[in-house]
């Protein structure tokens, strides 16, 4: 937890309740121990996509589509979201959920390693969301920055890893190696010459960076 319990409770109590489909997806994630986006982070991404008028979004790590749903719902009817996932079962589940929400035409879910997919993707994109394997974040970043329009946003999840990144100490879940990798990644992102960046202590820590 990276905010106080009182703040967390307040945010949970005041956030509008998830609609039935999103609640079903969140329950699916919890039941099968699939790492899905924290509710507060999902709301933040949804607001940001709206705020920048995103029309094209790219995502690394669809899982069962929780973050995909919240991003895609902010798109206009002719908008597009490309999302990569390497697990066939999760990819299929996400496809089914997004079709139930009427978002099938707006989302292009690809069962492919994002590193290969991003390398052949044509920009520009308004927003990129990185949420795959943490050790691969640097590779994703190098591939998405050239795809962003000037002013385009890249959001990266889990950059504080339950607070362990700040404490620089494993909690038994996040390992010392993962923490060291995250600290190096954050340092690089915050000083990236093509980005203006910050870290928001929301959810598990979300880095937000805009292309200069
Ligand atoms: C943290 S989960 C994504 C959660 C999802 N963004 C959400 O909030 O609902 C990470 C996902 O990335 C997938 N993944 C890992 N490496 C990948 C890669 N190189 N390319 C595409 N997907 C990858 C994993 O299979 C996993 O389902």
Helix (H) or strand (E) holding 83: strand 80-85
114 CB within 6 A, ligand 1: yes
Q: What is the pLDDT of residue 182?
A: 97
Q: What is the pLDDT of residue 1?
A: 74
Tens digit of pLDDT at every position of the chain (212 positions): 789 999 999 999 999 999 999 999 999 999 999 999 999 999 999 999 999 999 999 999 999 999 999 999 999 999 999 999 999 999 999 999 999 999 999 999 999 999 999 999 999 999 999 999 999 999 999 999 999 999 999 999 999 999 999 999 999 999 999 999 999 999 999 999 999 999 999 999 999 999 99
CA distances from 194 to 96, 154, 158 (A): 37, 12, 22
Q: In what order do the strands lie in the sheet with 148-157?
A: 107-111, 80-85, 56-60, 125-130, 148-157, 206-211, 195-200
Domain assignments of the chain as residue spans, ordered by start: 38-211
Q: What is the pLDDT of residue 204?
A: 95
Q: Which CATH class is domain 38-211?
A: alpha beta
The closest-lying atom of ligand 1 relative to the alpha carbon of residue 140 is 19
Tokens at 35, concatenated: 């790492």
Kindly give the distance from the C-alpha atom of residue 192 to the centroid of ligand 1, in angstroms, as a whole number.
24
Instruction: Residue 212: name the closest of 167, 154, 162 by CA.
Output: 154
Kindly give the distance from the C-alpha atom of residue 176 to the centroid of ligand 1, in angstroms, as a whole number.
21
155 and 206 Cβ atoms separated by less than 8 Å? yes
- Measured at the CA of 103, the angle between CA 100 and CA 107, to 5 degrees, comes to 125
Q: What is the pLDDT of residue 31?
A: 97
Q: What is the pLDDT of residue 111?
A: 98
Distance CA 203, CA 160 (A): 9
Kindly give the distance from the C-alpha atom of residue 1 to the centroid of ligand 1, in angstroms, as a whole number.
22
91 and 73 Cβ atoms separated by less than 8 Å? no
């Amino acid at each position: 937890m990276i905010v106080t319990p009182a703040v967390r409770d307040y945010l949970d109590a005041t956030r509008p309740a998830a609609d039935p489909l999103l609640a079903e997806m969140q329950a699916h994630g919890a039941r099968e121990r699939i790492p899905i986006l924290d509710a507060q982070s999902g709301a933040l991404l949804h607001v940001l996509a709206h705020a920048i008028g995103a029309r094209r979004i790219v995502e690394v790590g669809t899982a069962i589509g929780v973050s995909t749903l919240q991003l895609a719902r902010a798109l206009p009817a002719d908008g597009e979201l490309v999302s990569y996932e390497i697990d066939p079962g999760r990819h299929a589940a996400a496809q089914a959920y997004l079709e139930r929400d009427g978002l099938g035409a707006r989302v292009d879910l690809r069962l492919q390693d994002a590193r290969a997919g991003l390398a052949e993707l044509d920009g520009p994109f308004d927003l990129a969301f990185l949420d795959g394997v943490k050790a691969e974040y640097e590779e994703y970043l190098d591939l998405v920055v050239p795809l962003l329009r000037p002013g385009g946003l890249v959001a990266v999840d889990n950059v504080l890893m339950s607070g362990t990144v700040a404490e620089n100490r494993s909690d038994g879940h996040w390992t010392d190696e993962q923490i060291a990798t995250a600290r190096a990644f954050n340092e690089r992102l915050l000083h990236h010459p093509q980005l203006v960046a910050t870290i928001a202590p929301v959810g598990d820590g979300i880095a937000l960076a805009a292309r200069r």
